[in-house]
Structure 1
Amino acid sequence: MKNVDKRFRIAHREAWIGVGLVVFNFLWWFGFAYGLGSADPSAYHYVLGMPAWFFYSCALGSIVMMVLVSAVVKLFFKEVPLDDEEGSS
C-alpha cells in the first residue's frame, strides 16, 4: 500500500460520517412524514398549528439535525492543514 497522506484518511472518515448523517436525516424525515402523514387528513393531530407529521419530520427534524451536525463536527472532526507538508516534495 502506498504511503497515503493522513489528511486523506481523515477526510475519508469524515465523509463517511457525513453520509451517515444524511442517511439518518432521510430516515427521520421519511419515518415521520410517511408514518404519521399516511393517515386520513381528517384524523391528523396538530402540534403548534401544524400537522404532527410535518412538525416532527420537518420542523423538529431540522432542529435535531442542526444540533446533531454541530455535535458531530465538534466531537469527531479534526482541523487539518491544507498546505503541503514539509519535505513531501
Structure 2
Amino acid sequence: MKKGTDWRYRVSNREAVMGTVLAILNFIWWYAFAYGLGGRPIKEYTYILGFPAWFFYSCIVGFVVFTILVWIMVKFFFIEVPFELDETNEDGEGDVR
C-alpha cells in the first residue's frame, strides 16, 4: 500500500493541520492579551477576580476557550482511524496474506 493511496494519511494530515492551526491561534490569543493589555504601566492595570486583566484573559479565559475548542474539534471533526492494515489488495479483491 502506497502512502498516497491510503485514506488514513489524508485523514491524519487534515487533523494535524487542524491541530496546528488551533495551536497557532492559541499562541496568538495568548500573545495579544498578554502583551496587549500587559504592556502598560502597572499602575494602569485593571483586575478581574484579583488577577491582572492581561493574565485573566490570556491564561485563564484562553485556557477555557481553547479547551472547549479542542473538545469540539475532537468530538465533531476527528474520526476514528483503524491501525490495522487493510485486508484487501490494491485491486480491492481478496486476502493479501
What TM bracket, shorter-length normalisation? over 0.9
TM-score by length of 2: 0.86
Following superposition, the deviation at residue 29 of structure 1 comes to: 0.2
Q: Partners in 1 of 2:32 and 2:76 — Cα distance? A: 27
The two structures have a TM-score, normalised by structure 1, of 0.94
Partners of 1:72 and 1:47 in 2: CA distance: 29
C-alpha separation between the residues in 1 aligned to 2:56 and 2:63? 10
1:35 alignment partner in structure 2: 36
Alpha-carbon distance, 1:75 to partner: 1.0
Q: Which amino acid aligns with 1:53?
A: W
Instruction: Give unmatched runs, 5+ long, in structure 1.
Output: none
Unmatched 5+ residue regions in structure 2? Answer: 90-95
Larger Rg: 1 or 2? Answer: 2
Tell me which stretches of 4 or more aligned residues in structure 1 moved more than 3 Å.
Answer: none
Amino acid at match of 2:25: F
Aligned residues: 88
State percent identity of aligned pairs: 49
Aligned amino acid, residue 19 of structure 1: T
| C-alpha RMSD over aligned residues | 1.1
Q: RCO higher in 1 or 2 (8 Å CA, sep ≥ 6)?
A: 1
> Match for residue 20 of structure 1?
21
